[in-house]
Every structure is written in C-alpha cells, then in structure tokens.
Structure 1
Amino acid sequence: MKVLVLGASGFIGFPVAQALSRAGHTVYGLTRSATKAKQLAADEIIPIIGEPSVSDTWIHLVPTLDVVIEAIGGTADLRNIAVSLLSIVGTAAQATRPPSAPKITYIYTSGMWVHGSSPNEFICDTTPLNPITLVAWRPAVEQAILKDEKVNGIVIRPALLYGKSASLLDPVFEAAATGGKVAWYGKPGGRFALIHPDDLADLYVRVVEKAPILGGLAIDAGNENTEPVDDFLQRLLEVSGAKGPYEWITPSNLFEEALSTTQLLRPYLAKSLLGWSQKKPGLTEGLPLYYAAWKALQDGKEKGETLFAALTS
C-alpha cells in the first residue's frame, strides 16, 4: 500500500512511518525540517519537506495513495488544521481519482482526552464522549471525518504516550534528573491511561491493512490496564535517585488540567477487530528502561549542542 504520513517526524508520526515501512508499505513522510527529512530517508521513508497546510508539496500524491494519516502535533491551531486537511484531501481525491477507485482512507489522530475524566467508571471505544475543556472541539472534528462521504474516515485515539523521549512526561523526568521536585498535576489516587509509541505504531499498521472494513470507526489506543500515578512517581524517585517525597501540583491552566485527567480505560475494538495487544512493559514496570532511554537522549542532545557551539564559535 502507499501511505502518506502528515507529521512523520513527530512523536507519533515517526514510529508509525517506521512501522509501516518495516511492514513493506511504501511510505511518504511530510516534515517541516530538512534535517528530519534525512532521518526519514535513512529509515526508507520517502521524505517530503513542507507545511501540512501548504498542500502543493504533497497533494500530487493523492491520486495513487491508499491511505493518508494525519499525525500532526505541537501546534496551537490543531482544530483548523484538521478541518482544512480533511477538506484538501477529500476534494483532491474526488477530483483526481478514477470513479472506479475505492475511497482513499483518511486516518485522523485524536486523543483519549475526548472521553473526559472518568475516575469512577470504566470507559471504552464506544462510550459517549464527554471531552475535557482543552479538546472540547475534537468530537465534532472526529464526526466530520467519520461521516465524510469523500474519504474512508477512521479515528485513532492514543492514550498518554511513554517511553523514548518521554513525550508529556519529559518535565517530570527532567525534574528527577536535575534535582527538582518530582511532582504531577492533580491529587492522590489518579490513574494514567497509557500506550507506548511502538505499540501504537503496531496498531496503526493493523488499521492501515484492514482500513477498507474499518471506515466510520473510532478506535481507542491504550494499554488494557491503567496505572496509578502515585506508583509511577514513587518508582521514579527510586529509579532516578531524586530526593522525595513526590508532590502534587494544583493545575493552573487548561493544559495542566488535562494532564491531571484520570481515566479507567478498557478499550476493546483494537483487540477484538485487529488482534492488537500491548507488548511493551507498562510505564511503572519498565521505568528503569524508559528513564535510561530518556537520559541517553538527553546526553546525545547535550553533546550535539556542545559540538555545534564549538563549530560556530
């Protein structure tokens, strides 16, 4: 299959593009960075440099693509970008693909926060949505994608990511490593809904390969069991050698409130329809490995910055 990943150098997009390439698919990866384009090429991903919203660099691929994956992050304008990209792909597909061609599949990367906080009741893929304020706009975007007549729309909702460069857990790892306060948002008793990027990438591959029969579905992407935040924080003190006790932070903005979200997640569609299962150790169980990986990445960045400063001084 031919797949275009929009946001292919991101924390989700890169492992997804790598996994698709390993599975034998032809993968195009859109990135804004020339440096990251070289990294994509080294992983046998065909790089395209450009902005997602400037479609001149990639829209010519639509006539022969099977799947477009939107995995864009790190921007404050995600809603408008999502709406715009759906329109661009749908319009181009309708105008350039033969009438006999199947609909192009459009996979949108949403997130588990659309389920809202659920500290007392289990939630799953088909639970009615009750989004937290930060992503209150997302259910409408999901529905627009799932119901669009020009594309075969599918939504994947990743839980909080862990491992590699730590994603949103990076600040608490940084605090542990530098003598700061090990702390998290919320209050005792919270639970993480989690997924490792490698397990998430495996799920994307399965969705891509079964896409023709998955149109119209929103699939929760998370480990089968949630994890107590207290256990993670205590384990981080032990693994890092940081001074305790750990602390709790009262959220002061919508993003911090989002990070304090507790969810009792029991996803079932990925397992029942695609045979997907978690393979990586959980966050707390595998923390020595994940913290060491994060530290190695920080050491590499510091060496790179030192070399750059020496060369440019």
Structure 2
Amino acid sequence: MRIFITGGTGLVGSAALKALLDHGHDVTALARSEEKAEQLSQMGATPMRGDLTDPTKWIPAALEHEGIIHAAATFESNMGDTDIAMVNNLVEHASNLPADTKINLIYTGGCWLYPEAPVIPITERHVLDPLPAFEWMLDSIEHLHACSNFNLTVIHPGIVVAKDRGLICGLVEQIRQSGQMTIVGSLDTHYPLVHADDLGDLYRRAIQAGQSGLLLNASGFKSASLEEIAKTVAEQTGLAYKVAVQPLENAIEQYGDWAAGLGRSQRMEADRAKDTLNWEPAFDSVEKMVADCL
C-alpha cells in the first residue's frame, strides 16, 4: 500500500513507520524541517515537507495515498486548534473526491480520553471522559467519522514505552545516573503500558485491514503501578530502589495541562485488537519492557 503518515519521527509514528516498511509498504512522511526530512529519509520513508499548522500545502498530496496515519501532535498550547483545523481541511478536501474513493485512515487518540479506572479495566465500550487538555480529540474523531470517503480506525494507545525513549527508559537513565528515580503523582497510580514495537505492528495491521468505524485500545497488558515499574527497574539494573515523588501540580506547571494525565490511574484491555486483527503483543509484562531498555 501507499501510505502517508504524520508524526513519523515521534514515538508512535516512528514505530508505525518501521512496521510498515518492514512489510513492504511505500510510506510518505510529513517532515516539518530539513532535519526531519533527512531523518525520515534515512529511516526509509519518502519525506514530504510540510507542517501541521499549514495543512493546505500537503493534504491534497496526502489524499492521493491508499492509507493515512495521523500520529502527530504539537503538544503546545494550541495543539487542539491545530489538530481541528487540520482535520477540517482534510475532510473538506476528501469530500471532493469521487464517492467511491475510500482511504484507510487511522487517527491516534489515547488512554487519557477515558476516565480514571484503577480497578475495572477499560474496554472500548467505556464512556469517554477525556482529560480537558485532549477534549478536542472528540471533535476531530466525530468529524472524520462523518466523512464517507474514509475507512476510519481510531486507536487509543496506553502509555507508550520504547527501547530508547519513554517512561521506563527514562527511569533506567535516572537510576543509573543519580541512584534515584522520580515518579509523578503517586506510586499507587496504574498505567496501561504498550511497547512501541507492538503498537507499530497494530497500526500496520489496522491500516491493512481498513475496517470502517473500528475502535481499538492498545496495551500490552492491563496495567502496572508506578511502584511496580520502579521496583522492576531497580531489580533489573541491580541498583538500590530509591524514588522521589514529584507533586502532580509541579509536573503540570513544568510541562503543561496535558501532564495532568500522568496522575490518571487506569487499567485497560486490548482484547478487541487481539480478536479482530490477531494482534499479539510481544512485550506483555513489565519485566520484558524493562529488560528491553537495559
């Protein structure tokens, strides 16, 4: 398939890009700078210069592809307005395509669109209760769903980790450098974790399937508490378990309103992805995820 992707150098997008290329797909990736274009080219994609904030320059070309994966966000104060404007432009251009044109489209949501759920695991049937910083995603999803030219799949990843970046990698680096790990909020907070490699495989399966109206949660296992994660990091690095807890309010002040999600305790199931697309996460435990970061 010929597939267009945004966020191709990000944690989620780069994993999806790799999975697609590994399975022989032809991938074009949006690049906001020459540096990103060179990076994407080295990864094996065809870079297309453009920016999320100016979608009119690249959306017509994106719609010439068989599939589109949206895995980018600015994480700036205007990220909601930027995303909604991009989606509006995408739908406007897609609506002018022939009625029989169908493009497989994946939109990236996230577990923070769901409410706190520290006991009963979240499924796709749960009522949404988005973090205020991401409430705009519901408008984007609704607008895309209404466009008949898209076979829309929405994927809600858990907290994404990877070999070289993300929560666990950061904790490993902290304990090795300073002998202490910093946890935001509370050690009792539960996170549904998903490894980027597994998530990339799910994106690949979903874009190939092209099912319309499909909603998928993505987590390698239901959850792990921050205490369990930190203790596993200490055990596998062979270093003493020592943590400092940063108040959630401080994290919000430092990173922005979106950081409130770091305090949202959740468990989440991904049975639908497994049953519908035969998805089998390789990283299905905290131990495996930590071992990958060592």
TM interval, shorter chain, is 0.7 to 0.9
CA gap of 1:25–1:217, structure 2 versus 1, over 3 A, is same
1:87 and 1:231 mapped to 2: Cα distance? 42
Q: Which residue of 1 aligns with 2:80?
A: 79
Q: Which residue of 2 aligns with 1:10?
A: 10
Per the TM alignment, residue 42 of structure 1 is displaced from its structure 2 partner at its CA by 2.8
1:147 and 1:93 mapped to 2: Cα distance? 11
CA gap of 1:165–1:73, structure 2 versus 1, over 3 A, is farther
Query: Which digits, 9 at most, give the CA deviation of each residue in 1:127-160, with x for residues without a partner?
Result: 1112233323333332232233443322111110
Indicate yes or no: 2:279 matched with 1:276: yes
Per the TM alignment, residue 8 of structure 1 is displaced from its structure 2 partner at its CA by 1.2
* C-alpha contact (below 8 Å) 1:185/1:256 kept by paired residues: no
2:4 and 2:141 mapped to 1: Cα distance? 19
Per the TM alignment, residue 124 of structure 1 is displaced from its structure 2 partner at its CA by 0.6
CA gap of 1:281–1:222, structure 2 versus 1, over 3 A, is closer
Query: Which digits, 9 at most, give the CA deviation of each residue in 1:60-104, with x for residues without a partner?
Result: 424531111111134323222221222222222233x334x3322
1:171 and 1:243 mapped to 2: Cα distance? 16
- The amino acid that maps onto 2:200 is A
Where do 4+ consecutive residues of structure 1 move more than 6 Å? Answer: none
For structure 1, the residue ranges without an aligned partner over 5 or more in a row are: 293-313
2:72 and 2:183 mapped to 1: Cα distance? 26
* C-alpha contact (below 8 Å) 1:30/1:47 kept by paired residues: yes
Please report the RMSD computed on the Cα atoms of aligned residues, expressed in angstroms.
2.3
Q: How many positions carry a matched residue from both structures?
A: 287
- The amino acid that maps onto 1:43 is M
Q: Secondary structure at the match of 1:64?
A: coil
Q: Which residue of 1 aligns with 2:123?
A: 124
State which of 208, 219, 224 in structure 2 corresponds to 1:222: 219
- The amino acid that maps onto 1:85 is M
Q: Which residue of 1 aligns with 2:228?
A: 231
User: TM (normalized to structure 1)?
Assistant: 0.82
* C-alpha contact (below 8 Å) 2:183/2:244 kept by paired residues: yes
- The amino acid that maps onto 1:280 is F
- If you compute each CA radius of gyration, which structure gives the higher value, 1 or 2? 1
* C-alpha contact (below 8 Å) 1:27/1:46 kept by paired residues: yes
Q: Which residue of 1 aligns with 2:103?
A: 104
- 1:15-30 correspondence runs (5 A): 15-30=15-30
CA gap of 1:174–1:208, structure 2 versus 1, over 3 A, is same
Q: Which residue of 2 aligns with 1:247?
A: 244
1:234 and 1:8 mapped to 2: Cα distance? 32
- 1:121-270 correspondence runs (5 A): 121-169=120-168, 171-179=170-178, 181-211=180-210, 214-240=211-237, 243-252=240-249, 253=252, 254-270=257-273
Per the TM alignment, residue 242 of structure 1 is displaced from its structure 2 partner at its CA by 5.0
- The amino acid that maps onto 2:183 is W
